[in-house]
Amino acid sequence: MRKVKIHITLKEGVLDPQGKAVQNSLQSLEYNTVEDVRVGKYMEVVMEDSDNLEKQIDQMCDQLLANPVIENYSYTIEEVV
């Protein structure tokens, strides 16, 4: 079994209103050193090990988990102990 840790973030240049709201809230709490905030998604998926595991992960991200038009994704694969 493998645990896949997937990080999904907005591409550069895509407006992030949620990130901007968090940034404004942090600055209103006097965290004035905060320059920018980008909000993303994090998922953990446990999968059976297979020869084409990375291909399956890419397909899942492209078809459902991420919007490839406005989002990037990256992942790491760990062995489930």
Q: Which of 5, 8, 6 is nearest to 69 (CA)?
A: 8
Per-residue confidence band for 49, with pLDDT thresholds at 50, 70 and 90: very high
Q: Which of 69, 10, 56 is nearest to 20 (CA)?
A: 10
Per-residue confidence band for 40, with pLDDT thresholds at 50, 70 and 90: very high
Q: What is the mean pLDDT of residues 59-73?
A: 97
Residue 81 scores a pLDDT above 90: no
pLDDT of residue 79: 94
Q: Name the superfamily (CATH) of residues 2-79.
A: Phosphoribosylformylglycinamidine synthase subunit PurS (3.30.1280.10)
Q: Residue type at 19? A: G
> So where are the chain's domains?
2-79
